[in-house]
Amino acid sequence: MTRARVVITGLGGICSLGRNADEIWANMKAGHDGSGPLPIEPRDLKVGMVYPLMDRLEEDGIDPRRKVAMGEFSRLSVISARQAMAQAGLSAGDFDELRAGAVIGTGIYGADAVDESYRDILEHGKKRTHILTVPRAMPGAPAGQVSMDLGLRGPVFGVTSACTSGNHALVSAVDQIRLGRADVMLAGGTDTPIQYGILKAWEALRVLARTKCRPFSANRDGLMLGEGAAVAVIESYEHAKARGATILAEILGSGLSGDAADIVTPTVEGPTQAIRNCLADAGLASDAIDYINAHGTGTQANDKTETKAIRAALGTAADSVSVSSTKSMHGHCLGGSSAIEMIACIGAIRDGVIPPTINYEAEDPDCDLDVTPNDAREREVRVAISNAFAFGGTNAVLAFGKV
């Protein structure tokens, strides 16, 4: 049986690089560094630089009565979803609401709501937290809030798998369409980890960079956290064509795997298998890949392991593929990262431009791929893949193609 083709017709996003998908992509091409000073009271935090939102968009048009029940990660999801729907040319009445849904991934939870509850009780002496702390914080809230805002009554659920959450959400949304459960899905990822409790926890892991995020550079010393969200409108090809939609890209296939090894230390075999599974699912040869948006966190372990995995999966074709880590520009947004990186993949396909890995200073023989150092490069991109590998050994790779 021939499976349904699935396409992307709208994109939305908000992060340190921009207030919408077009701004984010323009700043990626320009090699803009979205890092900045910590936007919260530092207290005893050692971290100084993060990737905060370019603009919090407080005038977001969301009904204040609904927003009072939203954590910030849900609000960013709703903003992104509205943008994606606008670009897709969809509004209420344009689709069957019973066959439209939302899957939003998050790596943690609504950390702002949890931090607020601790401050209320421990600092301000209150007897209880905000009455809506649970719906503000729960990981499934962004998907639910998107569905309520847009009137989506089909499959609606959250996905959480650490830093692969965005890609897992996209894969799950594609599955709903291919299984015949939906015609239209809103899918993406979100996280807002620039909160005291989360930053203290990441400091304890000793993986945060001291000054800059330098993926694949020999002098890299860790990752830097960012906040943000991105959402795509995903449709069956037939549904998009029938309504005359502009198709941005096709989702050609996906590959999932588990390391089954260590909760924080990545293996080569797990990511390799995810890439291979993606190529097999998409029916692509290894030399068909033009661009890889790498997971590229800037840690010693990830970048070296990912290089080995790409070489193991692609063989000699790895020497001719363009690679970059856009986390050098927007930071590691945890569950939001791979959704934001989807914008990079689709932009590369549509504009024929490879976004750079900025802050690259020194070659590392263990990271010997063409990592597009510091400056964007023009190149025809027919197929791009996006890698996402996470704590827990969860791996998810997506392939996007030109239509």
Active-site residue set: 163, 295, 332
CA atoms within 13 A on the CB side of 336: 33
Contact call for residues 102 and 152 (beta carbons, < 8 A): yes
Query: Using an 8 Å Cβ cutoff, are 389 and 395 in contact?
Result: yes
Q: Which residues of 231-254 are buried (b: 16+ CB within 10 A; e: fewer)?
A: bbbbbbbebbeeeebebbbbbbbb
CA–CA dist 297, 303 (Å, integer): 7
> Residue 14: phi, psi to the nearest 5?
-155, 130
Kindly list the distances between the CA atom of residue 373 and the CA atoms of 149, 187, 306, 369, in Å, as whole numbers in the listed order.
41, 30, 17, 10
DSSP structure string for 14-49 = EBTTBSSHHHHHHHHHTT----EE-SS--TT----E
d(Cα 360, Cα 375) in Å, to the nearest integer? Answer: 10
CA–centroid distance for 397 within its chain = 12
**Contact status, residue 356 vs residue 214, Cβ threshold 8 Å:** no
Spatial CA neighbour of 73 closest among 205, 154, 188, 209? 188
The two three-digit tokens of residue 270, written as one number: 């797990």
**Residue corresponding to tokens 């892991």:** 205
Distances 84 to 23, 77, 142, 149 between C-alpha atoms, Å: 13, 10, 15, 13
Tokens 């291919």 found at = 178
Per-residue H/E/C for 94-149: CCCHHHEEEEEECCCCCHHHHHHHHHHHHHCCCCCCCCCHHHHHCCCHHHHHHHHH
- Tokens found for residue 235: 């449709």
- Enumerate the β-bridge partners of residue 223: 208
